[in-house]
A and B are shown apart, each in its own frame.
Chain A
């Protein structure tokens, strides 16, 4: 396992310190104007130690990615407005399915392509899909898929050679395997649109 870098340690320590302040009541005391100085110093030392030892599990690249007000605002919009709507709709759907005497379920596992650049975005979208009732992400794989494009054959090159040269080219594409309680379609693209809905757009706005 590779060593943690300094920015990763700082990021983790800051998040740990925020949680310390929230849980130990330091923030409420600070807002009331009677800060508990000893409590806050102890929290700082403890969170720096925790950051030193556990940063390598959490952060691998781009440590200060979220320390950007625009992205934080996007994250808040995603967590407060976009995601709960989807969550409530899916919850109502699954609850009515479970309470229906006929039990109208139609389970299956579909494979869905995802276009996101960063690892954090992929993890966040997978967790959002799992948190929505009715869909569970089972695995994330990265596969080589051939790029579909037509190229004009160069001079002195037969069309077969050009086609062979094209078919070798591949690109990395991420796939999710998703267990879906009501399989409406098996086509990867259409299923992806139905499952991800507005979620992928919101995640892409944060992490791209």
Chain B
């Protein structure tokens, strides 16, 4: 049981590490947002599932299991909403990618509307 919990948490730390490295290395705002999604999905799920296993079989506290699962569901529901809102807000505020994008259909259609 301890080994399973440790493996799940180490997977989570690996993905969180990859997300942090991506956020520090990526060239523009939007790709950095992609890396932050990496932190908020697998980085969270590993700890939540590992923690639920540990609380159920190591601590024998069902209340903590329920709270952990509610926390995980809450993260999974709310993260895409704020990510979507920040992405669109940044684009409308005038943040443009530094590196040349391959195609930018959104910008083209916004220019056509004006």
Contacts and interface: CB of A to CB of B under 8 A. Distances in A.
Direct touch of chains A and B (CB < 8 A) = yes
B80 A133 contact: no
Contacts of A87: 41-42
A62 B49 CA distance: 34
A100 to B, nearest CB: 10
Contacts of B77: 127
A31 to B, nearest CB: 8
Contacts of A135: 34
B33 to A, nearest CB: 6
B35 A138 contact: no
Contacts of B25: 98, 103
Contacts of B27: 103, 105
B80 A177 contact: no
B40 to A, nearest CB: 8
B97 interface: yes
B83 interface: yes
Contacts of B3: none
B18 A179 contact: no
Contacts of B107: 109
Interface in B3-37: 14-15, 18-19, 21-22, 25-28, 30-31, 33-35, 37
A25 interface: yes
B38 A131 contact: no
Interface residues of B, number: 44
Interface in B94-114: 97, 99, 101-107, 109
A7 interface: no
B31 A139 contact: no
Q: Which of A87, A99, A133, A141 has the most CB of B within 10 A?
A: A133
A88 B38 CA distance: 10
Contacts of A109: 101, 103-107
A109 B33 CA distance: 14
A141 B113 CA distance: 13
Contacts of A126: 80, 84
Nearest to B21: A98
A91 B67 contact: no
Interface of B: 14-15, 18-19, 21-22, 25-28, 30-31, 33-35, 37-38, 41-42, 62-63, 66-67, 70, 76-77, 79-81, 83-84, 87-88, 91, 97, 99, 101-107, 109
Interface of A: 19, 22-23, 25, 27-28, 31, 87-88, 91, 94-99, 103, 105-111, 126-128, 130-139, 141, 177, 179, 181, 183, 186
